[in-house]
Amino acid sequence: MAKIILDTNVILAAFASRGLCNSIFELCLDRYEIVISEEILEELARNMHDKIKLPASKTKHIITFLKENCIVSKIHEADKSKCEDKNDLHILGLAQKSGAKYVITGDKDLLKTKVYKNTKFVAPRDLWEINRKNFSDYINIVNKFIAVLIGKVCKKNNTSGINDKIWNNR
């Protein structure tokens, strides 16, 4: 399972309302190993209180949930020249330490980074499209496999197709 980092703004939006970030969060819980850091958790707790006025008890519950369902990783020191906003250096350090495939963020400065140490920086919508395409490719492969199996069964039973099986059993 690939590792993925969710920036604070994506996690905050996921818990603030139902929408794309909430769907991204659920997708990541299902298909990725989510990597976060203590710095992300601290920033999240602060923003939940300051920005969306979430009660401390609810914030604590969310932080506990994240600690139980995500990998909480330490960070490496990041290359300061690769980041415009020095407050985002911990994200680069986390990407370097974890080897995550993606960082999902809505932060315009971080999105300018594009790639850091083999980690791609993408917006939530971009991750949604990547997964939609991958799922479509998977469905196409499964459909081709099923068609081959049906062809083999029909050949073995001397029928020309699945419709013959259905019509002959009437």
CA distances from 81 to 14, 42, 56 (A): 30, 24, 37
Q: Tokens 């020249």 sit at which residue? A: 81
Q: Are 27 and 10 in contact (CB under 8 A)?
A: no
Strands, sheet with 102-104, edge to edge from the N-terminal-most edge strand: 71-73, 33-37, 3-6, 102-104, 119-122, 115-116
Separate counts of helices (H) and strands (E) for the chain: 8, 6
pLDDT band at 170 (very low <50, low <70, confident <90, very high): very low
- CA dist 168 and 159 (Å) reads 10
- CA dist 159 and 32 (Å) reads 43
Mean pLDDT on 11-26: 93
Q: For the chain, which residues make up each domain, given as ranges?
A: 3-122, 138-168
Q: Are 144 and 160 in contact (CB under 8 A)?
A: no
pLDDT, tens digit, 9 for 90 and up, residues 51-87: 999 999 999 999 999 999 999 999 988 877 787 788 8
- CA dist 41 and 117 (Å) reads 23
- Is the pLDDT at 169 greater than 90? The verdict is no
Mean pLDDT on 102-130: 94
pLDDT of res. 159: 59
Mean pLDDT on 130-144: 65
Instruction: Please provide the CATH number assigned to the domain covering 3-122.
Output: 3.40.50.1010
pTM of the model: 0.78
Residues 6 or more apart whose Cβ sits within 8 Å of residue 85? 107, 109, 110
